Amino acid sequence: MLHHANKPTVDIFSATIAAAAGCYPLVGKGNKHAVDAAAVEAMRHMLVGAEFGGQVVIGEGEKDDAPMLYNGELIGQGQPIEWDIAVDPVDGTALAATGAEGAVSVMAAADRGAMLDCNQVYYMKKIITGPAGWGVVDLDASPTQNIHALAAALDLDVSELRVAVIDKPRNQDVIAEVQATGAEWLQFAEGDVAMGVAAATEESGVHMLLGVGGAPEGVATACAVRILGGFMQARLAPQTVDQLEQAMVAGYDLDRKFGLTDLVGGENWIFVLTGITDGLLTRGIVPDGDGLILQTLVLDSKLGEPQLIEVEVSRN
């Protein structure tokens, strides 16, 4: 189990387990909104008893009335607010709804005030690698330059490099350039967080993540990247005129290249990811009689090595 873990890690672990198990009856049933609602409700219920104080920096957004999960909500009644919280009860709702691989439940935490609050911008351009990327790749270099540089640093042929880019129209030029280099494009339609964490994880089979994906997901991922010692840079990337105007009104610097410590600072980080369907980092939920077996990846800056934990919970 979670040996020597601090209380926030245990509570966050329990919350992602609850969210994943809570939405499991709806996995593969075709309704992504129902999947998300069930996970939110289960996570909210578990967090009512949280024994640490935190504020949700990345949550469901102001439009959502789910207590304990919306931006600005406080966790841990009457306790000192010592943590920033990022939460995504289901990253990959459409994947879960269809039963496809890659759906996870995610929650991350960092010292209070350490997370970049970019809730008014939905997208960011990212580059993520493992530790080998430090001083080797750069957000402002071309995909071709980054691929060749990382392949050399890893002592791999370019054809052996596996580069994840989310399959969206906004990334078609990046995808085409990745393929033109001869590197392998890892195609995925959802699951930005898990793929980003995989790119920072040595031996995962993913060497780099490129392209424009979710901004809130990027900040949550940065907690894991910091713990893993990986490399990450990002720049906010509004995709429409309305998003651009919203970002400018909010005062964001859209030219700024955020380093990893800009995305999440401080000295303490927690990242917990529980599999809903099979993925690169965890196995999906497995029914077992009256119970469910779940796998969870736990990263904690105080615990050292990543832990892959398996638990069985009741279906009820």
How far apart CA 23 and CA 34 sit, in angstroms, is: 8
Phi, psi dihedral angles at 228 (to 5 degrees): -80, -10
| pLDDT score of 275 more than 90 | yes
202 shares a domain with 235? yes
- Listed in sequence order, the residues at least 6 apart from 63 whose beta carbon sits closer than 8 Å to its beta carbon are none
Determine, yes or no, domain membership for 52. yes
pLDDT computed for residue 63 by the predictor: 46
Identify whether 63 is part of a domain: yes
Percent of the chain with pLDDT over 90: 84
Q: How many CB atoms lie within 10 A of CB 140?
A: 11
Query: Hunting for tokens 């990242």 — which residue is that?
Result: 271
- Is the pLDDT at 62 greater than 60, yes or no? no
Both 109 and 130 in a single domain? no
The conformation of residue 25, written as its DSSP 8-state character, comes to: G
CATH of the domain at 306: 3.30.540.10
- The rounded distance, in Å, linking the Cα atoms of 110 and 269 is 5
pLDDT score at 48: 83
* Cβ(310)–Cβ(289) below 8 Å: no
Question: Please, what is the average pLDDT of the chain?
Answer: 93
Each residue's pLDDT tens digit, 168-200: 999 999 999 999 999 999 999 999 999 999 999
Last residue of a domain, one of 225, 242, 263: 263
> Is there a single domain that holds both residue 107 and residue 181?
no
137 and 258: one domain? yes
Mean pLDDT of 90-101: 96
Q: Which of 55-64, 139-148, 217-226, 244-253 has the lowest mean pLDDT?
A: 55-64
The answer to whether residue 84 sits within a structural domain is yes
pTM: 0.95
pLDDT-based confidence at 49, cuts 50/70/90? Answer: confident
Number of other residues whose CB lies within 10 A of the CB of residue 149: 18
Tell me what the mean pLDDT of segment 139-152 comes to: 98
Q: Is residue 1, in this structure, part of any structural domain at all? A: no
- What was the pLDDT predicted at 5? 67
Question: Can you give the pLDDT at residue 61?
Answer: 66
What is the Cα–Cα distance from 154 to 135, expressed in whole angstroms? 13
User: Total domain count for the chain?
Assistant: 2
State the Cα–Cα distance between residues 142 and 166, nearest whole angstrom.
17
- In the chain, DSSP assigns E strands to 54-58, 74-75, 83-91, 104-111, 123-129, 162-166, 184-188, 208-214, 231-236, 258-259, 269-275, 286-288, 291-300, 307-314
Domain span holding position 131 = 123-263
Are residues 165 and 149 located together in one domain of the fold?
yes
The reply to whether 118 falls in a domain is no
How many Å apart are CA 247 and CA 114, to the nearest integer?
20
Average pLDDT of the segment spanning 274-286: 97
Question: Are residues 19 and 104 located together in one domain of the fold?
Answer: yes
In this structure, are 20 and 129 located in the same domain?
no
